């Protein structure tokens, strides 16, 4: 994968010139295995060491790396889908005033629907198929968008890409609802375990969510390492509880047969249609699972799913179904009533911890999706902090974290209970699932070269299941389903407005900048006076002239003795070898004082331009005399001017300008000295 330009020449709204730290991602599972193998061993590192022993130790370290990532994935990726047993089956039997009855036919039909929904959507579609469609290790709907653009091009794939942007917008709706409903559903367990303190549910949930969003700055890897053991305990506990219920009614295992699902739908199509609106709750988190792939890699996630998560979920749902068959009154809260009385308070505490982790899945997924949207030009450049030295996918975005926290808190207080939030849940999830399927089919046909019959089979299987789920949830729009649609429409408008405005600004900006070669030639003709010193201009390319450079000549009528244009790019590795850090181009003339430098940084390095130049000077890598500690640094600034010109409506132009003002400050990102940094530029029409 080619290096990605990081240099923001202006702080202006151009995501092709990111202002935030946007390291190129690598596969987390590959990097972890490589890191383990690169560690070497005492024996293998000695001359004449046992090669076979070294190979075994390398394999053991790679296996240990995968195991560690699998544990970390348990603490981040599976929190959302792993806590669905708290409310999924209960919601099915209480939806629409209890239209689904706790009879044996309905119970067997529902449990069969749940099991095969998880199997087809999560195990087959996402874990086995979709997660193979990664964009340099990154997952999520924007990774599919990137693959479609790369395969079909901007023109042929324009409509499909727009659909992907809608999918990302729906994911943001899911991201806001999941933490609120997950934490509330767990804390509400005190109503069963300790009724006298039921009024503390909302305050406790607010405190828990505040703590969760506060620890995000530590990074996904550290959070996952801390949460992983908790989730191992969670899945082990719910599996044991499920076995307890199955022991009461072993016949419930027959519910795994698809015949019960078919007979349930055939005998009661209307009731089954209502039921699927709640059954979808068992697959919430599937999209987050894919979006989080860049944090841990496909292999660790797949192993954790098939070896622990999937079996534990299946056992717990079967146990809850068995309890309902034995006691119809248990539909009021089958999850907690499945446990003996002495275990309910400890389970409330464990469930609260698990639902905090459930929120982590969509939060880290939102970080990944936002970073990819920025790189694709659909969101303004925000500050991105790399939180891992080994995995490029582990990032933290302070602005996104703050926005999610405020939104989640508002939703939780506004709805007040998980039951009310459940009515809003599902529309965004099922819409995102359907869009992922469409994008997957395009990638499979155009990039993977699937045959038409294979593509059609996947479309009918996945699309049929998810289309049914979507239809069952769209009727909830008037009962709260409007909320995720409102969030999605807001994000869709924001993303498409930014992308459209960005194209206009880039076109007009390139016209103002003009070719750098022509500027250098013009300089020789005009004989512009030179003044002592060195001017360093940050600019993403040597193809066009920095706006600040043109402004300096136009307003001051002079040029510095040395003019150095610096481009900063991110390499697709954690660390760049110092020998490969710098490349120098004299732009065709040996004696005009114009130079172009390229500084390369790995995704775990801070792109400090002055320090990079100092290191290059100390190593004798520069072909000319340059003192970074006395040079002046120039950033280009494009001030946007809204005009009646066609291309965007006026209100969208105002939205674009507002978004551009929140872009990250490039001076801070690239470590420029405040007292020697100048910002210059011109007006750009929008």
What is the pLDDT of the chain when averaged over all its residues? Answer: 78
From 306, 281, 314, select the one nearest 433 (Cα to Cα): 281
pLDDT category, 493, cuts 50, 70, 90? Answer: very high
Cα–Cα dist 40/617, whole Å: 33
The pLDDT score that the predictor gives to residue 66 is 60
Q: What is the pLDDT of residues 637-671, one digit of tens each?
A: 778 888 888 778 888 888 888 888 776 677 877 88
Question: 3-state DSSP call for residue 535?
Answer: strand
Give the burial string for 140-152 (b: 16+ CB within 10 Å, else e). Answer: bbbbbbbbbbebb
Sign of the CA dihedral 241, 243, 246, 251?
positive
Give the burial string for 184-208 (b: 16+ CB within 10 Å, else e). Answer: bbbbbbbbbbeeeeeeebeebbbeb
- Which tokens belong to 306? 């098939």
Question: With 90 as the cut, is the pLDDT of residue 457 above it?
Answer: yes
Question: With 60 as the cut, is the pLDDT of residue 571 above it?
Answer: yes
pLDDT category, 120, cuts 50, 70, 90? Answer: very high
Q: What is the pLDDT of residues 396-429, one digit of tens each?
A: 788 888 888 888 888 888 877 776 776 677 777 8
Which residues on neighbouring strands pair with residue 636, listed in sequence order? 680
Contacts of 433 (CB under 8 A, 6+ apart): 121, 283, 286, 287, 466, 469, 470
Q: Are 556 and 524 in contact (CB under 8 A)?
A: no
Q: Using the structure block, give the residue that is written with the tokens 């990819």.
A: 372
Cα–Cα dist 65/680, whole Å: 49
Its pTM surpasses 0.75: no
Q: Are 394 and 137 in contact (CB under 8 A)?
A: no
Range list of H helices, 514-625:
516-526, 547-556, 609-618
Question: With 80 as the cut, is the pLDDT of residue 246 above it?
Answer: yes
The pLDDT score that the predictor gives to residue 175 is 80
Q: Are 77 and 296 in contact (CB under 8 A)?
A: yes
Which residues on neighbouring strands pair with residue 565, listed in sequence order? 537, 596
CA distances from 473 to 119, 467, 481 (A): 20, 10, 8
Q: What is the pLDDT of residues 185-243, one digit of tens each?
A: 777 766 666 666 667 778 888 888 888 888 777 765 566 566 778 888 999 999 999 99
Cα–Cα dist 373/143, whole Å: 9
Q: Are 276 and 433 in contact (CB under 8 A)?
A: no
Query: Which of 13-17, 454-458, 504-508, 653-657 tops mean pLDDT?
Result: 454-458
Give the DSSP letter of residue 283.
G
Lowest mean pLDDT among 1-5, 69-73, 347-351, 574-578: 1-5
- Which tokens belong to 258? 């698809």
Q: What is the pLDDT of residues 143-185, one digit of tens each?
A: 888 888 878 876 777 788 888 888 888 888 878 887 887 777 7
């Amino acid at each position: 994968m080619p290096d990605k330009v990081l240099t923001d020449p202006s702080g202006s709204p151009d995501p092709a010139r990111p202002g935030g730290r946007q390291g190129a991602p690598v596969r987390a599972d590959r990097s972890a295995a490589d890191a383990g193998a690169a560690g070497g061993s005492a024996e293998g590192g000695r001359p004449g060491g046992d090669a076979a022993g070294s190979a075994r130790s390398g394999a053991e370290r790679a296996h240990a790396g995968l195991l560690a990532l699998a544990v970390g994935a348990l603490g981040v990726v599976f929190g959302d889908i792993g806590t669905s047993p708290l409310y999924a089956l209960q919601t099915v039997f209480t939806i629409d005033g209890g239209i689904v009855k706790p009879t044996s036919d309905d119970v067997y039909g529902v449990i069969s629907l749940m099991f095969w929904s998880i199997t087809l959507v999560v195990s087959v579609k996402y874990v086995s198929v979709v997660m193979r469609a990664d964009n340099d290790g990154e997952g999520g709907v924007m990774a599919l968008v990137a693959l479609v653009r790369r395969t079909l091009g901007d023109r042929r794939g324009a409509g499909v890409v727009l659909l992907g942007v809608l999918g990302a917008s729906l994911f943001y709706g899911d991201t806001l609802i999941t933490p609120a409903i997950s934490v509330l559903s767990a804390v509400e367990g005190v109503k069963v375990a300790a009724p006298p303190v039921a009024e503390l549910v909302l305050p406790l949930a607010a405190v828990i969510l505040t703590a969760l969003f506060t620890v995000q700055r530590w990074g996904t890897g550290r959070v996952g390492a801390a949460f992983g053991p908790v989730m191992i305990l969670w899945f082990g506990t719910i599996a044991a509880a499920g076995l307890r219920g199955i022991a009461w009614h072993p016949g419930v295992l027959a519910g795994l047969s698809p015949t019960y699902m078919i007979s349930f739908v055939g005998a009661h199509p209307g009731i089954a249609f209502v039921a699927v609106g709640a059954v979808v709750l068992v697959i919430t988190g599937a999209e987050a699972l894919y979006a989080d792939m860049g944090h841990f890699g496909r292999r660790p996630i797949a192993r954790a799913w098939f070896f622990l998560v999937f079996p534990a979920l299946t056992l717990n749902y079967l146990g809850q179904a068995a309890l309902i068959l034995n006691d119809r009154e248990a539909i009021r809260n089958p999850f907690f009533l499945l446990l003996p009385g002495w275990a309910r308070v400890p389970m409330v505490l464990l469930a609260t911890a698990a639902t905090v982790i459930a929120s982590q899945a969509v939060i880290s997924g939102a970080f990944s999706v936002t970073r990819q949207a920025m790189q694709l030009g659909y969101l303004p450049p925000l500050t991105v902090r790399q939180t891992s030295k080994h995995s490029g996918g582990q990032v933290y975005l302070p602005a996104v974290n703050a926005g999610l926290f405020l939104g989640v808190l508002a939703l939780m207080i506004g709805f007040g209970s998980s039951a009310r939030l459940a009515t809003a849940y599902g529309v965004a999830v099922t819409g995102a699932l359907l869009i992922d399927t469409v994008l997957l089919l395009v990638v499979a046909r155009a990039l993977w070269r699937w045959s038409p019959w294979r593509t059609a089979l996947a479309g009918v299987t996945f699309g049929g299941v998810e289309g049914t789920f979507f239809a069952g949830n769209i009727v909830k729009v008037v009962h709260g389903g409007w909320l995720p649609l409102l969030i999605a429409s807001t994000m869709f408008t924001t993303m498409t407005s930014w992308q459209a405005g960005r194209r206009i600004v880039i076109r007009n900006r390139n016209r103002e900048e003009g070719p750098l070669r022509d500027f250098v030639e013009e300089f020789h003709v005009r004989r512009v006076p030179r003044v002592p010193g060195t001017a360093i201009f940050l600019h993403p390319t040597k193809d066009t002239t920095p706006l600040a450079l043109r402004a300096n000549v136009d307003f001051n009528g002079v040029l510095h003795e040395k003019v150095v244009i610096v481009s900063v790019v991110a390499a697709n590795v954690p660390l760049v070898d110092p020998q490969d850090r710098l490349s120098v181009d004299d732009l065709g003339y040996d004696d005009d004082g114009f130079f172009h430098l390229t500084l390369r940084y790995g995704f775990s390095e801070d792109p400090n331009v002055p320090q990079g130049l100092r290191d290059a000077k100390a190593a004798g890598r520069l072909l000319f005399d340059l003192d970074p500690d006395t040079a002046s640094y120039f950033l280009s600034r494009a001030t946007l001017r809204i005009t009646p010109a066609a291309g965007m409506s006026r209100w969208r132009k105002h939205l674009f300008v507002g978004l551009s003002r929140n872009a990250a400050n490039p001076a801070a990102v690239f470590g420029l000295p405040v007292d020697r940094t100048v910002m210059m530029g011109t007006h750009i029409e929008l």
